[in-house]
């Protein structure tokens, strides 16, 4: 976040290596951007989206193979397979998730990653501020949430945006629908409220995982977390638009 460049082609090889080391991008992922050169419109973050590869690949896998999976994020997974995937990502291996991976294992891996981050996706110093928006209503609530999102570090902001975009897509497939031939396409039953209940405690944390009282949370905080994350999922497009 300390560099300002007009184009990714202006970056030195050392800077590109830095991005690779941070697991934010691979050189082959940067190539299409290089070919576009100066013609590409600049975003507020001109280098690349700062989303950990594990988050993006888990989201893409479930978007491709798991949107119709009933009870996604609620059904149990194989601890052994999840641990193996986790170790491969931790070692910096270029892990490709395809149809051979179990959707519930990938879902569990995503939840674990968010839960175990050393600093939660929404930084702990903003925990009380985000929770205070639960008592607000209407446009005022969204204005304050947007201002709080502007305070997030770029990596946290980009990753939260990717996650909310993904959760919104999962919720759109909650109800059963009908295909062109009249066949029923089962819904995953994961509404925005259900998703907020599962992901809320993982991205809005008061204490670090394993710390004293980390698991103990009063009912008011718990319900406020669900409400706030529900609003983030419902309105993420508006909230992240400058």
Predicted TM-score (pTM) of this structure = 0.77
Residue 35, pLDDT score:
47
Here the tokens at position 49 are 């989206």
What separation in angstroms does the CA of 241 have from each of 143, 150, 230, 238?
Answer: 12, 10, 18, 5
Residue 78, pLDDT score:
87
Domain 50-177+185-206+218-240 has CATH 3.40.50.720: no
Q: Give dist(CA 68, CA 141) in Å, integer.
A: 32
Q: Is the pLDDT of residue 25 over 50?
A: no
Q: Is the pLDDT of residue 39 over 80?
A: no
Residue 199, pLDDT score:
96
Mean pLDDT of 99-106: 93
pLDDT, tens digit (0-9, with 9 covering 90-100), for 146-203: 999 999 999 999 999 999 999 999 999 999 888 888 888 888 999 999 999 999 999 9
Q: Give dist(CA 71, CA 37) in Å, integer.
A: 44
| 183 touches 207 (CB < 8 A) | no
Residue 189, pLDDT score:
92
**What residue ranges do the domains of the chain occupy?**
50-177+185-206+218-240
| 170 touches 67 (CB < 8 A) | yes
| 37 touches 145 (CB < 8 A) | no
Q: Give dist(CA 74, CA 231) in Å, integer.
A: 21
Q: Is the pLDDT of residue 12 over 50?
A: yes
pLDDT, tens digit (0-9, with 9 covering 90-100), for 209-237: 666 554 456 777 899 999 999 999 999 99
What's the mean per-residue pLDDT of the chain? Answer: 82
Sequence-distant (6+) residues with CB within 8 A of 84 are: none
Sign of CA dihedral 91, 211, 154, 194: positive
Q: What angle do CA 162, 166, 167 make, to 5 degrees?
A: 120
* Adjacent-strand bridge partners of 177: 185
Residue 212, pLDDT score:
53
Q: What angle do CA 26, 7, 238 make, to 5 degrees?
A: 85
Strand runs labelled E in the chain: 177-178, 184-185
**Of 73, 72, 74, 98, which is closest to residue 85 (Cα–Cα)?**
98
Here the tokens at position 228 are 């706030």
pLDDT, tens digit (0-9, with 9 covering 90-100), for 109-123: 999 999 998 889 999
Residue 48, pLDDT score:
66
């Amino acid at each position: 976040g300390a560099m300002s460049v007009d184009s990714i082609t202006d970056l030195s090889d050392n800077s590109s290596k830095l991005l690779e080391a941070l697991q934010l991008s691979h050189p082959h992922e940067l190539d299409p951007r290089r070919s576009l050169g100066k013609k590409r419109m600049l975003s507020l973050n001109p280098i690349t989206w700062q989303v950990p590869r594990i988050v993006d690949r888990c989201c893409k896998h479930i978007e491709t193979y798991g949107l119709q999976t009933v009870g996604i994020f609620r059904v149990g997974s194989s601890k052994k397979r999840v641990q193996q995937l986790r170790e491969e990502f931790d070692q910096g291996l270029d892990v490709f998730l395809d149809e051979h991976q179990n959707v519930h294992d990938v879902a569990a891996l995503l939840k674990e990653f968010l839960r175990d981050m050393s600093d939660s996706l929404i930084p702990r110093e903003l925990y009380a501020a985000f929770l205070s928006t639960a008592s607000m209503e209407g446009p005022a609530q969204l204005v304050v949430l947007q201002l709080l999102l502007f305070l997030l570090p770029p990596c946290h902001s980009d990753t939260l945006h990717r996650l909310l975009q993904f959760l919104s897509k999962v919720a759109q497939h909650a109800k059963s629908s009908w295909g062109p031939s009249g066949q029923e396409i089962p819904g995953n039953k994961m509404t925005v409220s259900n998703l907020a209940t599962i992901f809320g405690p993982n991205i809005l944390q008061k204490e670090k995982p394993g710390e004293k009282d980390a698991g103990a949370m009063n009912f008011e905080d718990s319900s406020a977390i669900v409400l706030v994350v529900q609003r983030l999922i419902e309105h993420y497009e508006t909230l992240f638009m400058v």
